[in-house]
Chain A
Amino acid sequence: MTPHLPQLLGEIYRNESRLIFAALVRLLGDFDLAEDAMHDAFKTALEQWRKKGIPSNPRAWLVSTGRFKAIDLIRRQSKFDPLQAVHAEQMVAETVDPSSQVDKAIEDDMLRLIFTCCHPALSLDARTAMTMREVCDLTTEAIASAFLVTPATMAQRIVRAKAKIREAKIPFEVPPEHELPDRMDAVLQVIYLVFNEGYYTSSGGSAIRVDLSSEAIRLGRLLHTLLPEPEAAGLLGLMLLHESRRSARTTPTGDLILLEDQNRSLWDRHLIAEGLSLVAHAFSSKPAGPYALQAAIAALHAEAAHSDATDWAQIAGLYGLLLRIHPSPIIELNRAIAIAMHKGPEAGLRQIDAILERGELNSYHLAHSARAELCRKLGQIADARASWERALALAQQDPERRFIERKLSELGAASYPD
């Protein structure tokens, strides 16, 4: 009757399986049961739709069928367990006809799924694993390889998180309005971690690994569509503005190119335009949150036609605002670099030395790289060399190490006349 049924079901699975899964988690109250029920429903669809035709609302049909499959399963198991029998009858009694659901309810299911996977009672690692597995529908193996842990470790992380959700009774709900900002933080933190993981490892040239940056942007878009809060806009804008520079960031052989040396014609104008409008939205509520501020800094870079045209004074000011929300030596370091660009290397170097003297960033290679670069600009070649060497000893990633080695050899050439 429908020769393309497998293709059609494949398409429904790709576009709607997360919504169907989220609805089933709400109806069944259990992640594993919902997962099994969903796969049963797709299997049943393949048999029944062939005979009876495609239902008018395939998604609602799949949710409804999945729910009955799960109830069947529990009833079968309950022959041996009276507690399960009560559970099954309760579920039948609490019947909501899924086909009567409006789109809003379905969107809420997706948000419930996100907020449950990102519950602050779960560790950041567990939140990230759950979000990648349940919201992004990546396999445990793919997530494990993306985060450089063994599949067994990742599987255990996911099993434990699900057990905690079930046993501590973390409810499947969207937080009420007054709790939203705090609960949003836990979600944004996961998305930004995934993005950064992708940002710093994507230059490794390993094509088989999941593109974490793209996954993070997809998640950021989903969250911003479902819940257009200023900080959700800020994070999405921040990620798009960084992403716009992806092809300009490395040479074809995977070597790093600094922002000031990048070929700006390679920057993706569409992503920049979208990022800028998101930044404007993120600043619509005062005071601006940390993601909005970081996005605004990225926006100032994106707007500069060449590196000399960068508005460093404003960037230094934005870092100052960020410091007030999140006192952190790394933000201080970034402000010091902006000050160096705005007021000259001497002013920046004084600040970096002050931070290093406090000892907090002594083992952070970028602090020593920044110091080396400023020393070089001031003609303090021996100091520059010492700082590059310190940075080289601390850097972990191959592209970064090659970059530092190149800088050291350039210093060597420059210092020959001495």
Chain B
Amino acid sequence: MKYICLGYMNEEVWETLSESDRNTFMDACFAYDDELRKNGHFAGGEGLQDARNAATLRWRNGKVSVTDGPFAETKEQIGGIMVLEATDLNHAIRLLSKHPSLQFGHGGSSWEIRPAADLTALVEASKDRGKR
């Protein structure tokens, strides 16, 4: 089963980290990503640019409105997403518990694990509606 993992970082904490702290953090994270890849648990993922570079789209007054910045202005912003291939939630928790960002994030790092939804039935139902 796939679990989408959203990696959050508290920007204020990140700002306080020294260059060597950041290097330690990055080196450990990349090494662990490789390990996940090697064992077949890494089913995709990307690091994200600064939340300031985000654009948010909404439907406003009958048209799409584009605004600057992330969806929600909070201290904790998503810094990366990863798709984990795991047998169940405990397995996903176990794999992610070892992610070095937690240990080397100086308390500013957290992960949210979201089980991927199985949309097969919804897709089938939608196709059926199309046929009718």
The reply to whether chain A is a binding partner of chain B is: yes
- A residues contacting B by CB (< 8 A) are 119, 121, 167-171, 173, 175, 179
4 additional contacts (CB under 8 A) given A121-B93, A171-B87, A171-B90 = A119-B89, A121-B89, A168-B115, A169-B88
The answer to whether A167 and B115 touch across the interface, beta carbons within 8 angstroms, is yes
- CA of A179 to CA of B98 in the docked complex: distance in angstroms? 13
Q: Is B57 an interface residue (CB 8 A)?
A: no
The total of interchain contacts (Cβ-Cβ below 8 angstroms) comes to 22
Residues on A with beta carbons closer than 8 Å to the beta carbon of B87: 169, 171
- CA of A152 to CA of B68 in the docked complex: distance in angstroms? 43
With both chains docked as a complex, state the minimum distance between the C-beta of B20 and any C-beta of chain A, in angstroms.
30
Consensus secondary structure, chain A interface: loop
Q: Is B1 an interface residue (CB 8 A)?
A: yes
- CA of A263 to CA of B93 in the docked complex: distance in angstroms? 51
In the A-B complex, the 7 residue pairs with the closest CB atoms: A171-B88, A169-B88, A168-B115, A170-B89, A168-B89, A171-B90, A169-B89
Q: How large is the interface on B (under 10, 10 to 19, 20 to 34, 35 or more residues)?
A: under 10
The residue on A at minimum CB distance from B114 is A168
- B residues contacting A by CB (< 8 A) are 1, 87-91, 93-94, 115
Residues on B with beta carbons closer than 8 Å to the beta carbon of A171: 87-91
The residue on A at minimum CB distance from B121 is A83
Residues on B with beta carbons closer than 8 Å to the beta carbon of A175: 90
- 18 CB contacts below 8 A, A to B, read A119-B89, A121-B89, A121-B93, A167-B115, A168-B89, A168-B115, A169-B1, A169-B89, A169-B115, A170-B88, A170-B89, A171-B87, A171-B88, A171-B89, A171-B90, A171-B91, A173-B90, A175-B90
- CA of A171 to CA of B87 in the docked complex: distance in angstroms? 9
- CA of A175 to CA of B87 in the docked complex: distance in angstroms? 15
- CA of A173 to CA of B1 in the docked complex: distance in angstroms? 17
Most chain A CB inside 10 Å of its own CB: which residue of B87, B90, B94, B115: B90
- CA of A168 to CA of B88 in the docked complex: distance in angstroms? 8
The residue on A at minimum CB distance from B94 is A179
Residues on B with beta carbons closer than 8 Å to the beta carbon of A168: 89, 115
With both chains docked as a complex, state the minimum distance between the C-beta of A29 and any C-beta of chain B, in angstroms.
11
- CA of A144 to CA of B88 in the docked complex: distance in angstroms? 31
- CA of A66 to CA of B115 in the docked complex: distance in angstroms? 30
- CA of A119 to CA of B92 in the docked complex: distance in angstroms? 14
Residues on B with beta carbons closer than 8 Å to the beta carbon of A121: 89, 93
The residue on A at minimum CB distance from B1 is A169
Residues on A with beta carbons closer than 8 Å to the beta carbon of B90: 170-171, 173, 175
- CA of A170 to CA of B3 in the docked complex: distance in angstroms? 12
Residues on B with beta carbons closer than 8 Å to the beta carbon of A167: 115
- CA of A119 to CA of B90 in the docked complex: distance in angstroms? 9
With both chains docked as a complex, state the minimum distance between the C-beta of A162 and any C-beta of chain B, in angstroms.
14
